[in-house]
Chain A
Amino acid sequence: MSETSTPVTGRPYGDFAQRDTAVHPAAYTPGYKTSVLRSPRNALISTLNTVSERTGPVFRADELGPLDNDLILNFAKEGLPIGERIVVHGYVRDEFGRPVPNALVEVWQANAGGRYRHRNDKYLAPIDPNFGGCGRMLTDENGYYFYRTIKPGPYPWRNRINDWRPSHIHYSLSGDGWAQRLITQMYFEGDPMIGQCPIIKTIPSEEQVRGLIALQDIGNNIALDSRCYRFDIVLRGRRMTHFEATKQGDR
């Protein structure tokens, strides 16, 4: 390949900055009970980026369908799904503020009553025959994405016997390198259940919790149609290369 710099910044493809583990949940978080037997006991082993971590899968727009980012219509059979119509939009940037174009953003969620279309979900709230609950899109050249959906409802789960998840939408991001791979969850401004959730409490700081809360974007509501939420995402960034030492044999 002749292309040796990122399409947006024109900078050379550098290593990713070290992940700041202090901004993420620890693996072992006993308030979230399932983590107890599913968290490594050894420390992670930190490695230098190699070509394996600097690179990552590339996705093409023609692999996605025209309704893939419209959860209101992409599973509608004989009518529209029931619930609050919302649009969610925002930017995916790296930690140095640069847009991440062509990132694959995948989302999944429960329906308006808090029921997932999944063979293992036995909650008594009903399935909505016109709602699937998943969507996907690629960010544009500015790192912008948007999709339309039904606002999900909260639901109970067996952690403590009366724990409930706040309304949330799951997000998966594949950016421009394997080291950027991220799965997270988005919550909604003003939800009183955010402060009680054991999964949110795995996050070590208030600031990082705020980073997962989508804000009402009233100016972008669509009159008599849909409300709007704004949610931006930050992925790891490639380091600037002003002073980068070239490692022998690396390139």
Chain B
Amino acid sequence: MDRFSFSPIASFAPVRLPETASQTAGPYVHIGLAPKQAGFDIFENDFGPVLVGPETRGERIAIEGRVFDGSGSLVRDVLVEIWQANADGKYAHPADRQDRPIDPSFRGWGRACASFETGVFRFETVKPGRVSGAGALPQAPHACLVLFARGINIGLHTRLYFDDEAEANRSDPVLTGIEWDVRRQTLIARRTQRDGLPVYALDIRLQDTPDGGLETVFFDI
């Protein structure tokens, strides 16, 4: 009689290569990722901080932020990228299998540098809709951010939520997964209005700062 009365598995995880090690982006990251800010013009088409075109659906907003180090000083050489769903809560990527419409005028990704003078980075985008979560609960509207800079050895992932979505924020599975209630507040941007445009402002702290500012929550995604 055959010793194998059931089928053996064919393969499980045949190869496991280590991920290439991260290294800092360094102080001159702008040369490669934002050459105009480095001080020269080279590409016909630069990737930048404006996510919207005239056809994009949804509420136009700006997102502005600053990044502080552990001394409370501005990090003026930081590069920030954003990844978010469209106004209907759909990502422009085939792995998003939610039954919601793609917006052909919205990629959902952008790249901004802090100004060398003011330290402010700024995105022009639309407010994202809610997307599904890892459990049954939908997530509150949010944008994913990743930070690269001199002194940062591996990109720091965080999220930006909106202070006018308090009810959704209270049940967001990622926010509520942060054990310390007081730390959740570090991810919530404040809505203000400037020249008729809603502006959401968020200060990101790499460490607690001397003025009493709390270190921002960073994620291992």
Contact = CB atoms under 8 A, between A and B. Distances in A.
Given A68-B43, A96-B13, A47 B220 contact: yes
Contact of B97 (A1, A25, A34): A1
B155 interface: yes
A75 to B, nearest CB: 6
B4 interface: no
Interface in B151-169: 151-156
A6 B30 CA distance: 32
Contacts of A34: 150-151
Nearest to A120: B27
Nearest to A38: B151
Contacts of B109: 56-57
> Mostly helix, strand, loop or mixed at chain B's interface?
loop
Interface string A214-251: 00000000000000000001111000101000011111
B197 interface: no
B45 interface: yes
A57 B38 contact: no
Nearest to A180: B19
Interface residues of B, number: 88
Nearest to A15: B134
Contacts of B31: 108-109, 116-118, 132-134
Given A50-B134, A108-B28, A21 B220 contact: yes
A13 B94 contact: yes
Contact of A41 (B44, B215, B217): B215
A80 interface: no
A248 B33 contact: no
A207 interface: yes
Interface stretch (B57-65, B119-127, B141-149): B141-149
Contacts of A36: 70, 151
Interface of B: 9, 12-33, 35, 38-40, 42-45, 69-71, 73, 75, 77, 81, 83, 85, 91-98, 102, 107-109, 116, 131-137, 139, 142, 144, 146, 148-156, 173-174, 177-178, 183, 206-208, 215-221
Interface of A: 1, 3-4, 13, 19-21, 23-27, 29, 32, 34-42, 44-58, 63-65, 68, 74-75, 93, 95-97, 106-109, 116-121, 132-134, 136, 170, 172, 176-179, 181-185, 199-200, 202-203, 207-209, 211-212, 233-236, 240, 242, 247-251
